[in-house]
Structure 1
Amino acid sequence: MSYEMIKVDVRAGIGFLTWSRPRVHNAISPEMMAETMDALSALGVRDDVRVIILSGEGKSFSSGCDISVRADRETQGIDEWRTRYQKSLQFMLSFWRCPKPIIASIHGYCLAGGFEASLACDISVAAESARFGMPEAKMGSPSILLMLPWLAGPKMSKEILMCAEDTFSAARAKEAGIVNHVVPDEERESFVLELANHIVGASPVAVAYFKRAINQTFEIMGLMPALEANVEAAASMKGIVDKDRDEFLSIRKEQGLKAAIAWRASRVGAQ
């Protein structure tokens, strides 16, 4: 199948899935979500694929969901928000549920929805200059895949999410348990390829077992009910009247995202 927003290739047992919207730092649109899920389904059942490398074309891994196509004003009521967030959750979980291990190869910006997608991957490798973040609180938005507490713990997660951090370093991400390795920028691709080749050389049956068994452990501990409960909480949050959020969205529509973020920053300490 041909794709417009992603690139897919298979070489020497490795499936390469590349987000290909470099002009917008691989912002995740509904179409890109659908193409990614389709590609993961196809790669997941191919006998000649032992491992998948997820990366982003251009300067970034992903800047998050494409807010230029998000129909925030067209979605009304908790039921509609629930439906939207359920679809987004299924996209995030497509990485978690893929039977083949997925390595996230991260450079540039890894923010919001892109950040959450990386959390659902099995292994993450980041370039030293990569920058991570979850700026949702600045925009009055929730987290859809609330997997961060399962990886970084409650205190670190609360700091990242409540402070709406969007520029923390790869070194801090590694310290928090969000990434496995931080490598020099020029070594990222070769390092990821070497890591993938180790998996290619292992027993595919054993590799599939370990991914399934480890994921199952988290699910038995309550991961899935927690994620589903978060979708409900996120939908309910969007149903709450929030004058700051409404003003932010109004400024974003009329003056652009930078102006809206500047307005939000100017509010710090103003109340």
Structure 2
Amino acid sequence: MTQESAIPEILVEHSGPISWIVFNRPAQANALSGSMLDSFSAALDELKTSGGPVVGIRANGKGFCAGMDLGQYGGAAAMDPVADANRLNANVARWLAMWDHPKPVIAAVHGYCAGVGAQMCVFADLTIVADDVRISEPGVPIGGGFIAPTWVAQVGAKRAKEFAFLPGNSIDGPAAVEWGWANHCVPAERLITATEALAARIALVPPNVLQVKKLSINRAAEAAGFRTATSGIAEMDSLLHLAPSVLAIRERMANEGLKAVLDAYRGPSSTALINSFKE
């Protein structure tokens, strides 16, 4: 057994009223592997009937999550579009399990939060970010219509498009709060204590009351189209995965390495780019 496989990729830690699901793959920037996603789902399911009245999600290491582990998806080999859509739908179902969870779910986000990592936070009930956070679009445009549509309910269509159209585009903590993606931005060193203090206040409400409050608000969001917006994103993404232009990028990733391809698309965020014309 290798050292990496011997270390749990997901930890469950209990701290008073909050039970933390902790991403624990820091050497890989907490990039989401298939096994890590399965462990996340298992932990979330376990906490339905055990642990504290509030569920928290955080990460060990320098950042929250670098998105999907692209090392698992390099190359330009032929893909089965049905299998690809099924895989993506399974990941959407993992996030909807947060949305449908009987307990309030709080994401505490620091450092980097990229791609699917930024998508999953949309499904948390509350998101608290550190002042060192960068929430970013995937750095390589090999998918489409999977992440940004889930943002629309919180930030609006124009901001979702601004976020999505630039490879690697990013926003910081204050912008995340201004846009409506996050609830609060706090100093990085106080992220966990602030989140735990919020959880302690929430836990004063009886669990069954919290459950019904959450369900009621979710139904209001779903009446406005939140769940419907997630229903077709896997098919859109799997369709684009077969586009010749995307297959060419995947081939570059296989031949040149991920870093070289990321560097080719690297540039300023949309905010930084526009601000450069205001000076």
Q: What TM-score do you get using the length of structure 1 for normalisation?
A: 0.89
Distance of 2:265 and 2:133 partners within structure 1: 24
For the pair 1:122 / 2:125, whether they are aligned, the reply is yes
Secondary structure of 1:147's partner? helix
Look up the match of 1:30: 34
- The Cα shift of 1:52 comes to 0.8
For the pair 1:226 / 2:223, whether they are aligned, the reply is no
Secondary structure of 2:56's partner? strand
- The Cα shift of 1:25 comes to 1.3
Question: CA separation of 1:265/1:6 partners in 2, compared to 1, >3 Å: closer, same or farther?
Answer: closer
Query: CA offsets per residue over residues 56-93 of structure 1, 9 Å max, x none?
Result: 10111101111112366456243222112111211222
Query: 1:214 pairs with 193, 214, 217, which one?
Result: 217
Distance of 1:77 and 1:183 partners within structure 2: 44
Distance of 1:32 and 1:179 partners within structure 2: 24
Distance of 1:265 and 1:38 partners within structure 2: 36
Root mean square deviation, CA, Å: 2.0
- The Cα shift of 1:152 comes to 0.3
Q: Percent identity?
A: 24
Query: 1:109 pairs with 102, 109, 112, which one?
Result: 112
For the pair 1:83 / 2:106, whether they are aligned, the reply is no
Deviates more, 1:152-161 or 1:184-193: 184-193
The 8 Å contact of residues 28 and 66 in structure 1, kept in 2 or not, is answered as yes
Question: CA separation of 1:179/1:231 partners in 2, compared to 1, >3 Å: closer, same or farther?
Answer: same
Distance of 2:214 and 2:75 partners within structure 1: 36
The 8 Å contact of residues 3 and 35 in structure 1, kept in 2 or not, is answered as no
Deviates more, 1:218-227 or 1:199-208: 218-227
- The Cα shift of 1:144 comes to 3.0
- Listed as ranges, the matches of 1:1-271 within 5 Å are 4-46=8-50, 48-70=51-73, 73=76, 76-135=79-138, 138-145=140-147, 146-242=149-245, 245-265=246-266
Unaligned runs of 5+ in 1: 267-271
4+ long deviations beyond 4 Å? 71-75
Quick one: which amino acid aligns to residue 255 of structure 2? E
Number of aligned residue pairs: 261
Distance of 2:119 and 2:74 partners within structure 1: 20
The 8 Å contact of residues 10 and 40 in structure 2, kept in 1 or not, is answered as yes
Distance of 1:75 and 1:100 partners within structure 2: 41
- The Cα shift of 1:42 comes to 0.7
The 8 Å contact of residues 15 and 52 in structure 1, kept in 2 or not, is answered as yes
Secondary structure of 1:139's partner? coil
Distance of 2:29 and 2:22 partners within structure 1: 12
- The Cα shift of 1:250 comes to 2.1
Distance of 2:14 and 2:264 partners within structure 1: 46
- The Cα shift of 1:9 comes to 1.9
Distance of 1:54 and 1:205 partners within structure 2: 21
Query: CA offsets per residue over residues 142-197 of structure 1, 9 Å max, x none?
Result: 24353100110001000001123443211111111011000111111111110011
Q: What TM-score do you get using the length of structure 2 for normalisation?
A: 0.87
- Does 1 or 2 have the higher relative contact order (CA < 8 Å, sep 6+)? 2
Unaligned runs of 5+ in 2: 1-5, 268-279
The 8 Å contact of residues 88 and 144 in structure 1, kept in 2 or not, is answered as no
Look up the match of 1:269: none
Question: CA separation of 1:115/1:72 partners in 2, compared to 1, >3 Å: closer, same or farther?
Answer: farther
Secondary structure of 1:196's partner? helix
Distance of 2:29 and 2:126 partners within structure 1: 21
